[in-house]
Structure 1
């Protein structure tokens, strides 16, 4: 991969801000994209997301050309921002799909997002009309095919995602594989509800996040209030992956929904013959086991409908405006990464900059050479990215609350240092590494939680030793302050993890007596 292409694909920070190169492709301020949720992501929500600085996709699955035209015109009447249309060839009658694509081309829609089975012909037709094509995928092989077909952006969708789920891997496993497979910008999707989630995937190399559930539970979304309240009331492990909701989609397509009477088996066999109407949209019925989710215009037995939600639903506490939610996510992600929310205007200096390229020209005053510093920063970045992945996986599976909190706190620190290191490398006019250190694979190959935690601590100690070696050899005015803070953070987390290991050991001794 050429250096220029690698820079575009890394998700490198620009001027120490949340902005990524994919923002320039899409034409938005923040790398936060509204998922094209069918029925839910309509013009009101798309316009609100655009106003807040994100990028909106109209969810137009199986919608008529007339309806697509009307929604596009409503968006254009409310904002001059770029936006896109999401369609799903596999779930659409071929004749309708043909007319949908023709309508998007006729309206000169800037971006079209495709999902499920790859349609090479559709991608080629859209690209020929100068429409930017985004493809959502569930595995690395599919990502490669999407890029070969002409997709300019790929979305890696983890199994934590709400709605229809393409892949079978957790996002923390899928994302690095997709990043390795393609040279186009990669967005992450699946269970992302807040700024910390977004910061985590950006630290792992994604250029942005696709947000569904977090923006479904907003005032502007076209979801029914019943659906929004159900998300707010959701508990941990309150979602399930199921094929029970299947009408209108190919057989075997899995969906993640909130648990309800259907998922508990109280409504009978989803695949028995016959269709039972349980509700209605204007001019058409809604059947039990349909993929229809309840919208503002829906009436009937809402509880038995598909209440789509990702695994992050339990962290959504209220229904608020899309502008407020998206800007809060952007602000919290920037804070976690220790960067500015927006790219500063030309000539405006960032507060507490890591370093300036002009200061790095020439020798390091007889101390560490520029090449050595650049290599060390990328080495540390790869290690921190691997550490963040380990902590993300471990925190998800741990039941003990104190240990979970300690792991989550350490993960937040790792994400922050990834952001700081990327910023430092960019200020040097160098390209941040796209690799994740081998430490992740080594840790996950170890059996037993205590053994993994002990190995994790050894990795943290390696980073601390590397920092102690590097910091004294840097000029006082450059990286010392930031790397010293990073060192203190690692020393604190090493001590905290030792305490947790001691607690695990004590608990184990008690269980044997």
Structure 2
């Protein structure tokens, strides 16, 4: 159970993948420490430029000789009108005023072609820098991109939230798939099914997916310790992907206010919102989410809303003001700890082995 196909394929000692959290959380030190501890460190390159990704890949190679991976956002076409942007700006007017930010009436809507072009540049960086593992969120890349990566023997990992999405990943040629339960923090990875349809709990999701795909399944959503790891393995997953547990680690690049918010949160303090980015995501409730709750269905789709709120989030980070920050978190914040990656990894594996031993004893006694 603690030595399976996924682990052999990824060349890791422990069935633990650090979630590729974009926005500066997955520092080179965090990624390298996870890989050095026997797991798989992952760069969250969703908001990086190709140059930034190349620099970080080279930096991590100086910190670890073990495998690590990178995650890319698959671009999705969006239809946002200037009127919709103006309306969204008006809704943010009061918040900007509270923060003494200059009001902006003009906003250049990003072009899908440029976003897709940057995505292709990122793919080329992955190939040129010989990164052995690449995962994707928000969809499946075009066939030609998949074929190019496979030609360079790069292991491909998809993200899904339902059985239907998992099957689509397998048919597209993914080597394994991360199944994101509704407990997961941050942005939802759904791309076929709608937001409500994608909210399947992880313990229900894993066995149903395992019964319908032949590629290794990786469980994600609310897993924080050895108990969550073993539960996922017993249900048929071959590994886990953990985000919030690593976000509060010493090596994480998450803002100190973000870390403290998670460390002091209860299990009922997270909620879904699309007010920050235009895409549904789970985070800790704060003033921004409350103020925008009546309007979140009207905000422009990702990435437009994400760009509109960027200055607000950045300003609040500089002021240590959590009221208007995106405090992404899974549903198990009570289990989060401020500790090193090495300590977290050791504790997870020790607890998993103890639980496996106890279960073996109980079964033997039957």
TM-score band, normalised by the shorter chain?
0.7 to 0.9
How big is the shift at 1:227? 0.6
How big is the shift at 1:65? 1.3
Matches of 1:53 and 1:484, distance apart in 2: 30
Matches of 1:88 and 1:255, distance apart in 2: 15
Q: How does 1:64-79 map to 2 (within 5 A)?
A: 64-79=49-64
Q: How does 1:214-363 map to 2 (within 5 A)?
A: 214-246=245-277, 251=278, 253-265=279-291, 269-270=295-296, 286-288=310-312, 301-316=321-336, 318-338=337-357
Is residue 94 from structure 1 mapped to residue 116 from structure 2 by the alignment? yes
How big is the shift at 1:141? 1.2
Q: How does 1:310-459 map to 2 (within 5 A)?
A: 310-316=330-336, 318-338=337-357, 417=359, 420=360
- Report the equivalent of 1:124: 147
Q: What do residues 429-463 of structure 1 show as CA deviations (whole Å, max 9, x unaligned)? A: xxxxxxxxxxxxxxxxxxxxxxxxxxxxxxxxxxx
How big is the shift at 1:116? 1.3
- Report the equivalent of 1:82: 67
Question: Greater Rg, structure 1 or structure 2?
Answer: 1
Provide the TM-score with structure 1 as the length reference: 0.57
Q: How does 1:468-487 map to 2 (within 5 A)?
A: 483-485=363-365, 487=366
Matches of 2:230 and 2:331, distance apart in 1: 17
Equivalent pair of 2:131/2:154 in contact (CA under 8 Å):
yes
How big is the shift at 1:106? 0.7
* 1:266/1:158 CA distance change after superposition, 3 Å: closer
Matches of 2:315 and 2:227, distance apart in 1: 28
| 1:180 equivalent among 211, 231, 236 | 211
How big is the shift at 1:179? 0.6
How big is the shift at 1:21? 2.3
Q: What do residues 295-333 of structure 1 show as CA deviations (whole Å, max 9, x unaligned)? A: 7xx5564431110000011222x3111111121111111
* 1:142/1:269 CA distance change after superposition, 3 Å: closer
In structure 2, list runs of 5 or more residues that go unmatched: 77-111, 191-197, 301-306
Equivalent pair of 2:257/2:320 in contact (CA under 8 Å):
no
How big is the shift at 1:125? 2.1
How big is the shift at 1:211? 0.5
Matches of 1:306 and 1:116, distance apart in 2: 19
How big is the shift at 1:124? 2.2
How big is the shift at 1:482? 5.6
Matches of 1:63 and 1:269, distance apart in 2: 29
Q: What do residues 363-395 of structure 1 show as CA deviations (whole Å, max 9, x unaligned)? A: xxxxxxxxxxxxxxxxxxxxxxxxxxxxxxxxx
How big is the shift at 1:20? 2.5
Q: How does 1:17-32 map to 2 (within 5 A)?
A: 18-32=2-16
Paired residue secondary structure (1:126): helix
| 1:152 equivalent among 162, 175, 178 | 175
Paired residue secondary structure (2:62): helix
Aligned-CA RMSD value: 2.5
Equivalent pair of 1:160/1:170 in contact (CA under 8 Å):
yes
Q: What do residues 453-508 of structure 1 show as CA deviations (whole Å, max 9, x unaligned)? A: xxxxxxxxxxxxxxxxxxxxxxxxxxxx76453x3xxxxxxxxxxxxxxxxxxxxx
Paired residue secondary structure (2:168): helix
- Report the equivalent of 1:57: 42
How big is the shift at 1:24? 1.1
Provide the TM-score with structure 2 as the length reference: 0.79
Matches of 2:156 and 2:322, distance apart in 1: 34
Q: What do residues 251-293 of structure 1 show as CA deviations (whole Å, max 9, x unaligned)? A: 4x3100011112223787447789xxxxxx9xx98244x7x89
- Report the equivalent of 2:109: none
Matches of 1:271 and 1:174, distance apart in 2: 27
How big is the shift at 1:123? 2.1
How big is the shift at 1:62? 2.8
**Greater helix percent: which structure?**
1
Paired residue secondary structure (2:75): helix
* 1:311/1:482 CA distance change after superposition, 3 Å: closer
Matches of 2:299 and 2:241, distance apart in 1: 37
